[in-house]
Amino acid sequence: MISILLPIIFFVAHYAMSIVFGLYKIFLTIIKYKNIIYSALFNKIPIEDRKKVVIIGGGFSGSIVAQKLENDYQVTLIDTKDFFEFTPSILRTIVEPTHVRRIQVLHSHYLKHTNVVQKEVLGVQRNEVVLDDRTVEFDYLVINSGSSYNSPFKESSVVSSARANTLRENYYHIRKLKKILIIGGGIVGVELAAEIVDHFRGKEVTIVHSQSRLMNRFPKKAIRYTEEFLQSRGVRLIYNERVMEHRGNVFITDQGSEIEADQAFLCTGIIPNSGFIKNSYPDAISEFGYIKANDQLQMSGLTYYRNIFVSGDVLHVREEKLAQTAECTASIVVNNINAIEHRAENKMQSYKPFSKPVLISLGKYSAIFVYKDWALTGFIPAILKIAVEFKTMVRY
Ligand SMILES: Cc1cc2nc3c(=O)[nH]c(=O)nc-3n(C[C@H](O)[C@H](O)[C@H](O)COP(=O)(O)OP(=O)(O)OC[C@H]3O[C@@H](n4cnc5c(N)ncnc54)[C@H](O)[C@@H]3O)c2cc1C
C-alpha cells in the first residue's frame, strides 16, 4: 500500500511546490527588475567608467557575486562552463537524464549586464587575469573556481548540451553494467550508490570505504539509516580498506580483498581548482591546494591582497565543502567589495565557519537531513531536498 501511496504523495507534493515556487519566482523577478530600474535611474556612472570586477567561476559562489554586483560595476564572469548547475542534484541525472533540464541555466539567461566569457583562466597577474588569447583587467577579482570531482560528477570545458549528452551516455552505460564498485563512502559515494540501487534492479554494487563507517562525521542515527537503506537493497559495504590497484576488472584493496567490477567510480575527496594562481601567488596556496584568505575573505599569504577575494570550495577553511558555504561566503564578498568602494571598511564582514544543515539523498523517495548531532531520515527530507533545488533554481 505504502509503495503505491508514496509516489502519489511525492508527485502531488512535487507539483504543489512547483506552484509555490512559481509564485516565489515572480516575486524574485519583481525584486530583480526593481533593482535594475533603480540602478538605471540612480546609478549615473556610465557602465564603462564603473569599477571592473572580474569573477572566476560561475558555480554557487560566482553566480551570486555576479548577480549582486552586475548593476553597479562592470562585471566580467569567466567560467569554463557557459551555465550554472545545481551540483547537489547531479547524481540524480545519472539515473534520470531528463532531470538535467531542471538543474542547469545558461549564465547569459540570468545575468543581464555581465560580460560572460567561456574560457579557462590560466593565470593572474597584478591587475589582470590571463586567458589563452588575451588578458582581462580588474579593479576587484573574486576567485570562486571551486573544486573538481572525478568524472562524471563535475565537468569543465563543456557546454550544456555536451554535458547533457555525457550524462545521458552515463545513464545508458550504467544501465548495461552488472557489477559496480564505488570507491569512497562519503556523501557522494553514498548518494551515487543509493541512486543506482533505487533506480535499477539487479545490480551488484559494492562500496569500499577507508573508514569504519560510511559518512563517519555524521550522527549515528544517520549512518545506521544509510547502512540499512543500502544493505537492504543488496549493497555490499567493505570498511577499513583502500582500493590500491586493479588488474582488468578485478580491484584489489590494501587488505588483499578482490572485488570484481565492470566499472569503478572514484568518489574520494575533492581537488581545489587553484592551479592558475600558483605561479604568481605561491604564498597564498595552502598545503592541500586551497587558497588562503583573511577573515574578510581577501586573499592572503605573506601579506593580504586588498582587492582579491576568495569564496566557495576553493577557500582555505576547515569545514565541509557545501553549496551553502559557497553562497554564504559569496554574500560576504559582495558586502566587502561594496564596503571598500564606499569607503566604509568598518562595515566589512568576517566569515567564521559554522555548522550548516546537510541533505543527503538516498534515491528518489528517501533522504537524510543532518544538523549538528541531529538527524531526520526518510520521506520528509527527500521533499526538503526538492524544495532546496526549487528554491535555488528560481533565483536563476
Ligand atoms: C555530487 C555532488 C553532490 C553534492 N551535494 C551537495 C549537497 O547536497 N549539499 C551541498 O551543500 N553541497 C553539495 N555538494 C557540494 C557543492 O556542489 C559545492 O560545495 C559547490 O558547488 C561549491 O560552489 P563553488 O561556487 O565554490 O564552486 P563550483 O560549484 O565548483 O563552481 C566553480 C566553477 O568555476 C569554474 N572554474 C574552475 N576553474 C576555472 C578556471 N581556471 N577558469 C574559469 N573557470 C573555472 C568551474 O568550471 C565551475 O563552473 C555536492 C557536490 C557534488 C559534486
Domains of the chain by residue range: 47-80+119-150+270-347, 160-268+358-394
Closest approach atom of ligand 1 to CA 148: 30
Closest approach atom of ligand 1 to CA 57: 34
> Are 122 and 276 within 8 A, CB to CB?
yes
- Are 47-80+119-150+270-347 and 160-268+358-394 in the same CATH fold? yes
pLDDT band at 3 (very low <50, low <70, confident <90, very high): low
Res 63: pLDDT: 98
Res 369: pLDDT: 97
Cell output for 234: 543488496
Contact 91 CB / ligand 1 (< 6 Å): yes
Cell output for 211: 573508514
Contact 79 CB / ligand 1 (< 6 Å): yes
The third-level CATH classification (topology) of the domain covering 47-80+119-150+270-347 is FAD/NAD(P)-binding domain (3.50.50)
pTM metric for this prediction: 0.89
pLDDT digits (tens, 9 = 90+) for 338-366: 999 999 999 999 999 999 999 999 999 99
What is the C-alpha radius of gyration for the chain, rounded to an integer number of angstroms?
22
The third-level CATH classification (topology) of the domain covering 160-268+358-394 is FAD/NAD(P)-binding domain (3.50.50)
In our burial notation (b when 16+ CB lie closer than 10 A, e otherwise), range 191-216 reads: bbbbbbbbbeeebbbbbbbbeebbbe
pLDDT digits (tens, 9 = 90+) for 99-146: 999 999 999 999 999 999 999 999 999 899 999 999 999 999 999 999
pLDDT digits (tens, 9 = 90+) for 276-325: 999 999 999 999 999 999 999 999 999 999 999 999 999 999 998 999 99
Cell output for 49: 567608467
